Structure formats: structure tokens, C-alpha cells
Amino acid sequence: MKFGIVINEGPYTHQASDSALQFVKAALHKGHEIFRVFFYHDGVNNGTSLGVPPQDDRNLTLEWSGLAEKHDLDLVVCVAAAQRRGILDEDEMGRHGKSANNLAPGFRISGLGQLIEAGIQADRLVTFGD
């Protein structure tokens, strides 16, 4: 089956990102396809490369980046939600005249159309949030 994944909450405060990560791993293990993972609302905060969680805890951003590299996942961060919350790639940094960028490897910034497309293309769109 082809899954689309939506993550609506940031890391650590909510379990949404952890649950989605476990779901994606299990789905891939069973041979399913992940069409796209779309990060919306505070979910965009999963894409910051600047998080430094304690060493004895999981690092969700690193986990997503690693999984993306291993399985060629499409991790999409919503541009409008990201701009509000200070998640920028190099292009966005330049466009808005900011002094830094922080999008983690394996993530890309794009529009809400990517979410709708995931709904159209996937057999199931599964939302992780509150």
C-alpha cells in the first residue's frame, strides 16, 4: 500500500512525530511505500537542524534525516508554516534576508499543494497530531 503521512506537532512536546516515525519504519519493514511525509503546523519544527536534545534521549530530527537517506523518503516541510516558525533553507534565508538557515538534511521546503497531492496519490493519508 502507498501511504501519505502528515505530522502536525513538533518534536518532544507531543508524541506525534515519534508515533509517525515508528509507523513509517513498520510500514517500510512490511514492504509498503511511503509516498511522502508532510510536516504542517508545529510539525515543521521536526525539520530544524539546531535541536540539541540530551544525549541519552532520541534525536527525532536525526532519526528522520537518517530514515530519509536510507529509504529515499520525501520529507516536505510546509513553507508557510515554516516561515512563521523560523524554519528556513538556504533559498528562504536569502529571499527573506535572514542571517542563518536551519533545515536539516533530507528535508525540503515546499507548498501545501504537496499535501493535497499526497492525499490524491496515496492509498491512505495518515495524520499524526492531537
Partner 1 sequence: MENGEGVVKKFCYINRKAPYGTIYALESLEVVLIAAAFDQDISLVFADDGVYQLTKGQDTDGIGMKNFSKTYTALGDYDIKKVYVEKESLEERGLSAEDLQALKYEDEDDDWAEKDSLFVIGREEMAKIIDEQDVILSF
78 is catalytic: yes
Q: Does 62 bind partner 1 (CB under 8 A)?
A: no
Phi, psi at 113, each rounded to 5°: -60, -30
Considering only residues 6 through 35, tell me which ones interact with partner 1, judged by CB under 8 A.
6, 8
Minimum CB distance to partner 1 smaller for 94 or for 121:
121
The residues, ordered by sequence, that sit 6+ positions from 52 with a Cβ below 8 Å of its Cβ are: none
Tell me how far, at minimum, the Cβ of 113 lies from partner 1, in Å.
6
Phi, psi at 16, each rounded to 5°: -55, -45
Please give the residue ranges that form the binding site for partner 1 (CB under 8 A). Answer: 6, 8, 40-41, 80-81, 111-113, 115-117, 119-121, 125, 127, 129
